Amino acid sequence: MLRRLVKDFQGDVLAIPGRLIALIFFLLLFLLPLITQEPYTLRILIFANIFVIFAVSWDFLSGYTGQVNFGHALFFGVAAYTAAMLNKYIGLQPWATIPIGAIVAVGAGVLMCLPALRLRGPYLSLVTLAFPLILLGVVKAFPDVTGGEHGITGLTRLSESRITDYYISAVVMTISVFIMWKLTDARSALVRTGIILHAIREDEIAARASGINTIRYKLLAFAVGGFFAGIAGGLFAHFMRIAGPSTLDLMLSFQAIIWTVFGGIVSIYGAVVGVYFLYPLMEFLRVIPELRILIFAAIVIVILLFMPEGIAVWIRDKIERACPRCKLSNVWWRRTCRACGASLY
Amino acid sequence: MFQAFVIQVLVTGGVYALLAVGFSLIFGVARMINLAHTAFFMLAAYGMFFCSLQLGLDPISSIILSIVVTTLIAVASYKVFIDRIREHQVTVLLITIALAMVFQELMLLAFGAHFRAAPTLISGFWEIFGVRVTYQQLLSLGIVLVVLICVWAILLRTKLGIAIRATAQDAEIANLMGINVSRILLITMGIAAALAAISGVVVAPLWVVYPYMWLSPLVMVMAIVVLGGLGSIKGSVIGAFIIALVETLVVFLVPAGAFLKLAFALLAMVIILVVRPEGLFGVIFEEERL
């Protein structure tokens, strides 16, 4: 049994450089507080973790089903405001408000899905754009309940210390990313969602003709995407101790797209790489505040011009080579496939 | 009151119509959602402000200069940044967002975050039924009408228009018929940007000019284009006036209307789309298999 596990580990993780890098990354993530406990660094990483959940949930919803969502901030904002109101007016603690907020975000996702099911392509994108902005108008029009421009302030802290905050965000991030990665894994024998979502993206009519209830799977995509974006929103509200209009902002929806596409769409890890590359970069650029957004945008443009599929996908294609016969990934220096021995050239 | 309302709807609707027609055109021909579209509108408004106030040029030459320069910037950025990655649609989307951010930051660096206004071209007003209508508003309306008619004439009555429409219908077949598709795309981008620039020049004296002025028209334009049917010019014009009507009604009638005008305009769009998923005048394309 143990030997079997070790063997699986060798074959499925160590032999594939991309997964090896992911493993090292997550190990480093959990060991980091041993190296540095500086509050500012931890703060940046906590935000990065929260936005990883947000960006990956966008990738899950938009990349994998092809339903490009311009209003992903809706889920983030709905969950943040729900958590904030429950905490402020009823006095629930973060461990309760964040899941409830996420479930309300699922409700928002299903609501958003109703028109979305009838629409396709750019129509869908532009309609989803409307929802967070409609809600934003409502939030600003009723400042008594929602705090208007200033938002709901003075929420309970996520936990007592920064280190605990960090571990909470890291653990939640790892679990969420793992679940979404598993759900989208087209080769998984356990869950069929991955391959079905791929099928819907490639050709919805053909998928329906093969007996797949595409509506059910689109609903599922909206619900799962909404749930994890909601978790991110709740974490954000309790960590910042404020839920303001910025959580529904158009720019936040666009940020999710920027992070994900920069890293590589339809890949889950692309979103992780995108956030971990761009978010600290954005913080680092605070040393030159007036040129910050300009440099950020310029870097995004230049990198995408040369790696239009995203930086993570570009690197993966350099270090991994799929076997033409059995489709298994191999390290780039191998000349023959490690499983079937076919030539890789 | 009522007359002021009508004038407001007409002017806002006209400006939105110009923006939406350009957006719709470039979507229809290049299948590209150009989020930098209203950034060109912002650039032209700044150009107007810069030429007429800081350089002291006369109105006509500053209008022409801003439109030409903005169009050239748009065409150049299309050629350099978008043309070579055209097949990656989501990446194109992202590059247009980034371009809009670049323009916004450049204007912020050059002119600061102050609210600016360009001088009116002709001063004075005309009283219609006791309501003051400034000549500037009438002039804007006139320019919008003339430009819309010109676009319509180009698209329906010239050889270039036929080529553009053919490319919009099927780029591959158009290519086989001897149309230089990438040149048509470049020209369409130029026309769309020029339309955005003209609307920027028109509103510069009427609205405030500031680096973030592209964001809310962008949302409105997307709502209009979807409502009217993507790729349909007629739909864009009618949609623009519907959205302008809803927006102005909300501002006039509802308390806290300034916050809610966007929400109501978008709600109108969602309702129309739920009833007619392809927009008012949109055609359902055959499923495009790329």
The shortest C-alpha distance from A115 to chain B (Å) reads 6
Per residue in A225-277, pLDDT (tens digit) is 999 999 999 999 999 888 888 888 888 999 999 999 999 888 888 999 999 99
Domain boundaries, chain A: 40-251
Domain boundaries, chain B: 15-214
Compute the count of residue pairs across chains A and B with CB atoms less than 8 Å apart.
128
Q: What sign has the CA pseudo-torsion A205, A207, A211, A213?
A: negative
The shortest C-alpha distance from A314 to chain B (Å) reads 14
Cα distances from B178 to residues B27, B167, B171, B174, B187, in angstroms, run 22, 11, 11, 7, 16
- The burial of A47, by beta-carbon neighbours within 10 Å (0-12 exposed, 13-18 middle, 19 or more buried), is given as buried
Chain B CA closest to residue A204 = B287
Chain B CA closest to residue A142 = B256
Per residue in A289-336, pLDDT (tens digit) is 888 889 999 999 999 888 888 899 898 888 888 888 877 777 888 888
Residue with tokens 């009217």: B228
* B91 contacts A129? CB cut-off 8 A: no
Q: Of the segments A166-175, A203-212, A310-319, B206-215, which one has the largest average pLDDT value?
A: A166-175
pLDDT at A19: 85
Chain B CA closest to residue A143 = B256
The answer to whether residue B72 neighbours chain A at the CB level (below 8 Å) is: no
**For residue A345, what are its two tokens?**
């050239």
User: What torsion, rounded to 10 degrees, do the Cα atoms B198, B202, B207, B209 define?
Assistant: 50
* A122 contacts B230? CB cut-off 8 A: yes
pLDDT at A138: 86
Q: Are strands A329-331 and A320-322 parallel, antiparallel or unpaired?
A: antiparallel
pLDDT at B123: 66
For the segment A15-34, the average pLDDT, to the nearest whole number, is 87
Chain B CA closest to residue A63 = B90
pLDDT at A170: 93
State ipTM: 0.83
Among A64, A65, A118, A127, the residue to mutate for chain B (most B Cβ within 10 A): A127
CA B103 to the chain's CA centroid: 16
Per residue in A191-202, pLDDT (tens digit) is 888 888 888 888
pLDDT at B288: 46
Stronger pLDDT, B216 or A187, i.e. the higher one: B216
Residue A90 has pLDDT above 80, yes or no: yes
For the segment A151-172, the average pLDDT, to the nearest whole number, is 88
pLDDT at B22: 92
The tens-digit pLDDT sequence of chain B (290 residues) is 677 788 888 888 999 999 999 999 998 888 888 999 999 999 999 998 888 888 878 888 888 999 999 999 999 999 999 888 888 888 888 899 899 999 999 999 988 888 887 777 666 666 666 666 778 888 888 889 999 999 999 998 999 999 998 998 888 899 999 999 999 999 999 999 999 999 998 888 888 888 888 888 898 898 898 888 877 888 889 999 999 998 888 888 877 667 778 888 888 888 888 788 777 877 655 444 33
Half-sphere exposure of B214 (CA within 13 A, CB side): 28
- Name the residue among A130, A141, A308 with its Cβ closest to that of B88: A308
* A250 contacts B90? CB cut-off 8 A: no
- The burial of B179, by beta-carbon neighbours within 10 Å (0-12 exposed, 13-18 middle, 19 or more buried), is given as middle
- Name the residue among B94, B266, B287 with its Cβ closest to that of A130: B266
Looking at residue B96, its amino acid is T
For the segment A183-211, the average pLDDT, to the nearest whole number, is 84
* B259 contacts A137? CB cut-off 8 A: yes
Q: What sign has the CA pseudo-torsion B75, B79, B82, B88?
A: positive
pLDDT at B56: 79
Q: Is the backbone of residue B66 left (phi > 0), alpha (psi -120 to 50) or beta?
A: alpha
Cβ distance B152 to B145 under 8 Å? no
Cα distances from B54 to residues B44, B68, B110, B119, B173, in angstroms, run 15, 18, 12, 11, 49
- Name the residue among B260, B269, B289 with its Cβ closest to that of A137: B260
Share of chain A above pLDDT 90, in %: 31
